[in-house]
Structure 1
Amino acid sequence: MDLQDLLMKSTFDSIFKVGFGFELDTLSGSDESTFDDSNVMVYWRYVDPLWKIKRSLNIGSEAALKQNIRVIDNFIYDLIRRKREQMEERQLERGKEDILSRFLVESEKDPENMTDQYLRDITLSFIIGHICKYSHLHPLVQEKVTREVIEATEADENLSADEFVLKLTEAALDSMHYLHAAVTETLRLYPAVPVDGKISEEDDTLPDGFKIKKGDGINYIPYAMGRMTYIWGEDAEDFRPERWLDSGVFRAKSPFNFTAFQPGRAPDMLRERFCL
């Protein structure tokens, strides 16, 4: 029995249920390897100088990646279509069920920008980043988080799990500033996407004067940025949630320093809120 594989599948199933309202059921045999294989192939480009040639000739790993992308696109677009149908047929309470439902509601307000392709990209960002490491919490931090959750929810040790869930209201979650800081600090040191890349859509000049051409690829490393002392101070490598608090209230940092969710428009802020 491969325990790590079972835990990965369990996490994958959970994010699908919470995020999209569907049962993926990989624990029962459904195959999620297309996502994992594609992720490996994309990262392989960092060390394969011939990947563009392979892509042009449609051979090797690039041919396999192209096929995987087609499968993934079809899967995600079908997921979006089924969710729309589900919302219409079941008369779901709009914006209240799962993450994808809320994005679909938002897309109706801005259909020009929040197209199905945009929704596909948002959905994929959840799937690709489905493993977030929250295990770095120190015992003292865990104690503070526990105390804050108990105070915010007015819970006691005699509550059942169902009763506790009912107490996790929006207001209670909004008051958990230390929990927010602890999770954010974890993502600073252990981002779900440790290496990321962008493609320039037009000629541009970076702040340091470096010129880039349309189509150039630019890579940055959130994992390393989270440990840079000139961004976070001399204690950059220390796990310290307090750096996010101002008189006990959570204060966000510049998204150009804390790049776990990247700077973006309002829908991206919605994504950040759900991830946290």
Structure 2
Amino acid sequence: MDLSIYTLSVTVFLLVFSLWIVGFLRKFRNNGAYPPLVGTMLSHVMNFERLHDYHTEQAERCKTFRVMYPTFSYVFTTDPINVEHILKTNFTNYVKGISNHEIMRDLLGDGIFNVDGDKWRQQRKLAGLEFSTKVFMDFSGVVFSSIAVKLASIFKEAAEEKKCVEMQDLFMRSSFDAICKVVFGVDINSLSSTKSRAGPETSFAEAFDVANAMMFHRYVGSFWKVKKVFNIGSEAILRKNIKIVDDFLYKVIEIRRQEVVSAEKENVKPDILSRYITLSDKESSETFSDKYLRDFILNFMMAARDTTALTLSWFLYMLCKHPQVQEKIVKEISSVIEDTESTDIGTFAHCLTHEVLDKMHYLHASLSETLRLYPAVPVDGKYVVKDDILPDGFKVNKGDFVSYVPYAMGRMAFLWGNDAKEFKPERWIENGVFHPQSPFKFTAFQAGPRICIGRDFAYLQMKIIAAVLLRFYKFEMVKPKEIRYRTMLTLHMDEDGLNLSVSPRL
């Protein structure tokens, strides 16, 4: 009986929606000024599990296209001239928007990745200055080297016991450890956590992951506001875990404030939280309130962890599918660092200075090629503030969402050639040197005023970990197969992850 009622309800909804579509289509009939209509909300629903491939297929037909929703349109573009217009030329007309801020506010608050206007500009200016300092990059390098050594010890044990390793989970945990140490100076140590281990650090790590996942429910669920009012379902889970996150972070902020007050200026810890608290002596107390610092920490953690962890996962997947690339990277590493077979992992990791890593052009190219095909953020949308005309001549309306599509752009023949869907690091190399592409073509780190301030930070982490692991270990897939993504805000691998066998290289 329940099934019959459900089926009837769905049928009625589809009928009403179809009639509405007919009326809506009449509005745009024979009007070539609007991007071609390729589908409706139902197209997204039916293709949800392969959403990014669906967008790629549509982009191969038309560089800019439209998917219609009941009260607005999603406009997608893969054309770099449009991307530059959205992210730079007419930057103020394409914003995060109120609805996105409302969805993410409980977790990200008023942090840099969840706001527009003056709030964004103030945070961007300060973060840009802090993240470019030598002190920050040197401290980050030390942390990443330590994480790489820990990962290598895990692979050593796996190789000795002939166990396979699920790489995505391992990289997610290692990246989380690194970010927490760099940003607020705490050793979460989730790499060594076990079921029997408990403590505030473990509870924080678990709560952050759960809260992150529950946030995605708000994007695909229609009644999250009702559930929030009544504190039920996913919203009850979200509220519980955000409280755990907040309790932990506010305690850390309190401790760091006490340390900064009692320490001499030159003895302040190098983590970003301590440096921000030190700067607060020069700013208003409101700007650097506990809430401000809490929002900053969570925004940076959200942005930084997935970028590096997921890219390293897809990177190793590509190297397993293209073993000749894996060996070419190892050869480059050996040519840059003249070590011996007796060199231990810690000593090798210590050698990976900025100057040394800058010489590893093919490694940098291989990571960039991974990001081209498997960007951590596969689609990024902006809210349209006012009616506008894109450089390709298509109109967008106030209230629409305009998205550039890094996943599809990386597969466009008109941008990368007929071999666009092939993994080919050589496309980034000219005369033996890495050659960057326009950020409006290679959009993995955004572009324009909002270009990722952590781009160099991310490359540093990925290059150190990749160099250490590939120098000492060889990776192969346990069972050769095509790895699929999960449709989420970031490009996670499917539920099975990436299971690899590990063997010593020497």
TM range (shorter): 0.7 to 0.9
String of CA shifts for 1:83-123, please: whole Å, max 9, x gaps. 6766774877889x56x479849978x97999644454223
Is 1:7 the equivalent of 2:190?
A: no
Partner residue of 1:209? 395
2:398 alignment partner AA: I
Partner residue of 1:34? 207
Aligned-partner SS, 1:268 = coil
Which of residues 439, 449, 456 is equivalent to 1:273? Answer: 456
Distance 1:230 1:105, change over 3 A: farther
Contact 2:172 2:305 in 1 (8 A): no
Distance 1:189 1:76, change over 3 A: farther
Q: CA deviation at 1:176?
A: 1.3
Contact 1:76 1:123 in 2 (8 A): no
Distance 1:229 1:64, change over 3 A: farther
**Higher share in helix:** 2
Is 1:145 the equivalent of 2:308?
A: no
Contact 2:384 2:398 in 1 (8 A): no
Which runs of structure 2 are paired with 1:160-239 in the superposition (5 Å)? 160-198=344-382, 200=383, 202-203=385-386, 205=388, 207=390, 208-213=394-399, 221-239=405-423
Distance 1:273 1:251, change over 3 A: same
Distance 1:58 1:6, change over 3 A: closer
CA distance in 2, matches of 1:69, 1:189: 33
Length, aligned pairs only: 267
> Which consecutive unaligned segments of at least 5 residues does structure 1 have?
none
Partner residue of 2:303? 125
Q: CA deviation at 1:24?
A: 0.8
CA distance in 2, matches of 1:58, 1:197: 29
Identity %: 35
2:425 alignment partner AA: P
Is 1:254 the equivalent of 2:438?
A: yes
Partner residue of 1:242? 426
Contact 1:222 1:260 in 2 (8 A): yes
TM-score, normalised relative to structure 2: 0.44
Distance 1:25 1:44, change over 3 A: same
CA distance in 2, matches of 1:147, 1:13: 30
Which of residues 336, 339, 360 is equivalent to 1:155? Answer: 339
CA distance in 1, matches of 2:333, 2:172: 28
Q: CA deviation at 1:197?
A: 4.5
Partner residue of 2:128? none
Distance 1:168 1:219, change over 3 A: same
Q: CA deviation at 1:191?
A: 2.4
Is 1:23 the equivalent of 2:160?
A: no
1:209 alignment partner AA: K
String of CA shifts for 1:4-62, please: whole Å, max 9, x gaps. 59736742554346644421133134133323323333333443233455457665424
CA distance in 1, matches of 2:247, 2:389: 36
CA distance in 2, matches of 1:74, 1:201: 37
1:15 alignment partner AA: A
Distance 1:179 1:68, change over 3 A: same
CA distance in 1, matches of 2:435, 2:268: 30
2:334 alignment partner AA: I
Contact 1:226 1:236 in 2 (8 A): yes
Partner residue of 2:145? none
Partner residue of 1:50? 223
Contact 1:155 1:167 in 2 (8 A): no
Distance 1:182 1:274, change over 3 A: same
- By relative contact order (CA 8 Å, sep 6+), the higher-ranking structure is 2
Name the stretch that deviates more: 240-249 or 75-84: 75-84
Q: CA deviation at 1:126?
A: 1.8
Contact 1:103 1:119 in 2 (8 A): no
Distance 1:57 1:101, change over 3 A: closer
